[in-house]
Amino acid sequence: NVVLAPTMESRLNTLANFTASARRHGVPYRHMLFYGPPGTGKTLAARQMARYSGLEYAVLSGGDVAPLGNDAVTQLHSVFDWSESSSKGVLLFVDEADAFLRRRDTANVSEGVRAALNVMLSRTGGASKDFVLVLATNRPEDLDEALLDRVDEVLEFDLPGTAEREEMLRLFMKRYLTDPPSSSVGISGYFKGIKAQSDPVELDGISDGDIAEAAVDLNGLSGREVEKVVIAMQAAAYGSGDAKLTLDAFRNVVKTKIQEKSSKLAFVDIGDAAGAALSS
């Protein structure tokens, strides 16, 4: 389910194979940094690596750790204690790592965040045969230098190229349109076991060439954004009343999502300009 450029896929496969066999060979794990724009597959790749390697899996979100203040120290020690006692080994994934692992010389860093960073540094100071640390961030330049020194492998998750976008379109169109899988549904665990399946969508006049053309037009979109394009196609098909996606509707969704992307980028530029003005 992770669509990556061939060179990145090969490197991840090599690291996954190593991670799966590290304990058997009696060698330490290699800590990793995944960086790149939002929606490029960092979290999904970490989950897949954990499953493939047979390791247990823990997720920390920097956005959740930072507000804990001094309690973050206790929570982090608990996670590392558990990791070091696991019989399988643990992949410890820290998403939005820059939220609490930023450089110590950064202005407005709270004492709680500094303390949490110090725990991370003290618990990752040496090679580990118990856990592998995977950090993910959109802003690697904000991470503390001492933390970066703990990292053995640095992998950039870039925006997908045309070939990857086309593969994603086909993957997501199968998942959401032509061959949707059945799945258990329920809110907060209620009605577990009930199976629900979306009605298949008929593609009316959409050729392989049209999909390839859309992949070109969607330049600059992340994998998550490509998935949202196809979900919008699903909504358009169901909204038509007959679960059919025509070529015109297909193209209109692509055009609309490209325009929305341009608007979002403009919002970011305005926000950056406002922030720069306030700090000057």
Domain boundaries, the chain: 6-156, 162-266
Which pLDDT does position 239 carry in this prediction?
95
- Segment 66-88 mean pLDDT: 89
Q: Which two tokens stand for residue 113?
A: 């965040």
pTM: 0.85
CB atoms within 10 A of CB 73: 15
* Per-residue pLDDT band at 267 (split at 50, 70, 90): low
Query: What pLDDT, in 10s, does the model give residues 1-45?
Result: 679 999 999 999 999 999 999 999 999 999 999 999 999 999 999
pLDDT single digits (tens) 109-165: 788 888 889 999 999 999 999 999 999 999 999 999 999 999 999 999 999 999 999
Identity of residue 188: S
What architecture (CATH level 2) is domain 6-156? 3-Layer(aba) Sandwich (3.40)
| Residue 193: predicted pLDDT | 47
Confidence label for 186 from pLDDT (cuts 50, 70 and 90): very low
- 248 token code pair: 């015109």
Give me the chain's average pLDDT, please.
88
Mean pLDDT, residues 181-185: 59
Positive/negative CA dihedral, 37, 38, 41, 43: positive
Candidate CATH numbers 1.10.8.60, 1.20.1260.10, 1.20.1440.120, 3.90.950.20; the one for domain 162-266: 1.10.8.60
In single-letter form, the type of residue at position 49 comes to M
Query: Phi and psi (nearest 5°) for 104?
Result: -70, -20
| SS3 of residue 185 by DSSP | coil
Q: Which residue has the higher pLDDT, 212 or 112?
A: 212
Averaged pLDDT for residues 241-248: 96
- Tokens representing 220? 């600059």
The distance in angstroms from the start CA to the end CA of the chain is: 45
Please determine, for residue 184, whether its predicted confidence score (pLDDT) is greater than 70.
no
Write the DSSP assignment of 140-153 as a string of letters: GGGB-HHHHTT-SE
3-state class of 192 per DSSP? coil
Q: Per residue, what are the HEC states of 69-122?
A: CCHHHHHHHHHHHHHHHCCCCEEEEEECHHHCCECCCCCCCCHHHHHHHHHHHH
Q: Name the 3-class secondary structure at 59.
A: strand
Residue percentage of the chain with pLDDT more than 70? 89
Cross-strand partners of 58: 92
Q: Is 10 helix (H, G, I), strand (E, B) or coil?
A: helix
CB–CB of 256/72 below 8 Å? Answer: no
Positive/negative CA dihedral, 72, 46, 156, 132: positive
Length of the chain in terms of residues written: 280
Strand 131-137 to strand 244-246: parallel, antiparallel, or no bridges (unpaired)?
Answer: unpaired
What are the residues facing 137 on neighbouring strands? 35
Residue that wins the pLDDT comparison between 127 and 266: 127
Directed axis angle between helix 162-173 and helix 223-239, to 10°? Answer: 40
